[in-house]
Structure 1
């Protein structure tokens, strides 16, 4: 992991106006991943969208950490099931898919 694709936890905290402890608690609950490089801790840029969603749920909707875990689990499960549906649809012959669309 290089520093170019990451933001330090401290910079992230400053930018979003949130506590470092909130970010660390999200990691403790398995909701984001923090990597250590030397003596600094970093969040990958591609996780910032997830962090923003969690911030919204926690600060604006006042959902606690256990609620965030449950929501995260359900969202992941829905995405997994949608992938499975797409995979199964790709196995169906085209004629069956066309009939299904007409219904």
Structure 2
């Protein structure tokens, strides 16, 4: 019985992990909460994939964000303004629909 419980726990943890996107920068996640994108409204280092897939327009300028890890999951994104942030990490290679992008004045 114990091995079955452990196996079930393992699969449930994999399923729940695959339904979230890691957002390690607290300021990035706070900006998503302020914009009503992060539905759990909690700074916990993750956001639901279903939340990010809906986002087409994202203005997170001037939010003191250093790391945009997780932005690659925003695959419906067309517009991104991340200007006036002290960015050290940004990977938009998966955001193939992105047509408008601003990173002016990276601090």
Q: TM-score, normalised by structure 2?
A: 0.32
Greater helix content: 1
Q: TM-score, normalised by structure 1?
A: 0.33
